[in-house]
Amino acid sequence: MKENWTRMDLHDPAAVDPAKQKVTGIAERFNKEGGGLISIFYHPCEWVHREFWDGVNFARGANPPREQWKPPRQRTAEETEGAFRRFEQHIDHIRAIPGLRFVTATDLPELYPDRVRTMGATANDLSELAEKLVRSGAAGVDFQVVRGNAYSLADQFELFTLAVGQLIDAGTIQFPIAASALLGPDGLPPAESATTEIPWTAFRDAALDVRSYLKTHGRIPARVFIGPDSAPPADYLIGLAGVYLHHAKNGALPLPSTVKLGRNFEALPARHVAKDTPNLFGGWVIHRAGFRAPKILEVARLQAWTLKPAVAGR
């Protein structure tokens, strides 16, 4: 949420006015930008306890048996009532801001619908996505927003797989094509493609194999086998986009020529996942000193294939 989330210190009398000013500033900015989502969150413990249960019982890797668990120190009734009064002032201020309304997490799927999975992608959408992919160059491949619809890398991979599969089967594509909720790969890709120039017949067979893989496993393959060789899925995605564009421009598949894959293309959404550093987990009290989880972060980066912006409904 970056600059669009705000919290007030419940137990600091001097925090009320700055909190009002911040939420007002966000709302005024959104009025100029056409709207947006302000995030406000609290934990129930914050009203009545001085610390969280996990910090009291499980600090720095401690794991005492249940009978030794201790409740956190409780705030006085006056402190809790003061917190509620301050929060009431804050909420009343927010309610008075013109054009603002309250929503909860359960409202978000309707406010930010994923039309790629319901209405699907059109021929124009896929053509624009394909152009972006083949022009992406050494920077790598990323999620895209086209005509107000957001496409993750997993969406793009699936949609072009389905589109090229239809071309192979019937020589035409039935639009719109809807994406499902594919997961990212379950393993790291090969270091690089064995070759970037693939005979059409080999690419054709690989495309049909990949389509079957997506249907069976529900995730992006960690590597795409093209004959005896394998390619990273990001490099293969460039080939899919190129085949789609070739047909869109020429009305035919690239027979009998070759298909060009990408070369060491990076899946750029992974940059939104923190890298494994010594102090990454130090902010949560339950972790032991020096705790690290490189494999968890590796999996998170692989699942970044599914990341994309939330676009407000029209």
191-216 pLDDT per residue, tens: 877 788 999 999 999 999 999 999 99
How far CA 290 is from CA of 52, 168, 263, 279, in Å, comes to 21, 53, 37, 7
Q: Which residue has the higher pLDDT, 91 or 289?
A: 91
**pLDDT > 90: percent of the chain:** 87
d(CA 22, CA 39): 12
What pLDDT does 255 receive? 85
What pLDDT does 116 receive? 96
Average pLDDT, the chain: 94
Angle formed at CA 47 by CA 46 and CA 49, multiple of 5 degrees: 65
Contacts of 144 (CB under 8 A, 6+ apart): 129, 132, 150, 151, 156
Assign 84 a pLDDT band (cuts: 50, 70, 90): very high
d(CA 284, CA 267): 29
Taking 80 as the threshold, does the pLDDT of residue 306 lie above it? Answer: yes
What pLDDT does 138 receive? 67
d(CA 130, CA 106): 34
Q: Which residue has the higher pLDDT, 193 or 81?
A: 81
What pLDDT does 161 receive? 98
What pLDDT does 196 receive? 86
What pLDDT does 139 receive? 74
149-175 pLDDT per residue, tens: 999 999 999 999 999 999 999 999 999
What pLDDT does 256 receive? 84
